[in-house]
Amino acid sequence: MPWVSEELCTGCGVCVDECYASAISMIEEVAFIDETECIRCGVCHEVCPSDAVRHDGERVPEEVASNLAWAEELLEHEYYSGDSQKREELYQRLLRYFNKNKKVMEKSIERLKLLWDEKYEEKSED
Ligand code: SF4
Ligand code: SF4
């Protein structure tokens, strides 16, 4: 999912004009991409003269930090203070939750590859 760096965006509006899906709007002179409308065509990356449209992968450290902050906030919640068993149970629950998300993504990748092979990959004629 592309996203716009507020620091780099100059508000020129080129991406807004070029987006086929009309997924980009200007909010206070900074481009904003509506991920529910975006069709992942990548054009905004190509047309931005300021390199302000960034790739999803760059957000991995930020998303990991956000997950960790959330987990730590729960582990520090007063409900668990002074009860190491409850806190340990929460820790295990959090591990299951992150593992479940990992499995969903792994399965999704697996199924997408199968879909691609079955439906979209051009078969050779020989
Ligand atoms: S990837 Fe394509 S559809 Fe999505 S915001 Fe960029 S130009 Fe628009
Ligand atoms: S083309 Fe780049 S600099 Fe211009 S509005 Fe879009 S993201 Fe911002």
Q: Tell me the pTM.
A: 0.83
* Ramachandran quadrant class, 46 (left: phi over 0; alpha: psi -120 to 50; beta: rest): alpha
**Residue 122: per-residue pLDDT:** 84
Residue 44 burial (CB < 10 Å; 0-12/13-18/19+)? buried
**Residue 125: per-residue pLDDT:** 54
Residues 90, 49 contacting (CB under 8 angstroms)? no
Name the closest ligand to CA 9: 2
**Minimal CA–CA distance to 32: which of 52, 46, 61?**
52
**Residue 67: per-residue pLDDT:** 98
Q: For tokens 């909010």, name the residue.
A: 27
Per-residue pLDDT of the chain (126 residues), as tens digits, is: 899 999 999 999 999 999 999 999 999 999 999 999 999 999 999 999 999 999 999 999 999 999 999 999 999 999 999 999 999 999 999 999 999 999 999 999 999 999 999 999 986 555
Q: 19: Cβ below 6 Å to ligand 1?
A: yes
| Contact residues for 97 (Cβ-Cβ < 8 A; gap 6+) | none
Which residue's CA lies nearest to atom 4 of ligand 1? Answer: 38
Q: For residue 79, what is the DSSP state? A: G
Coil, helix or strand for 125? Answer: coil
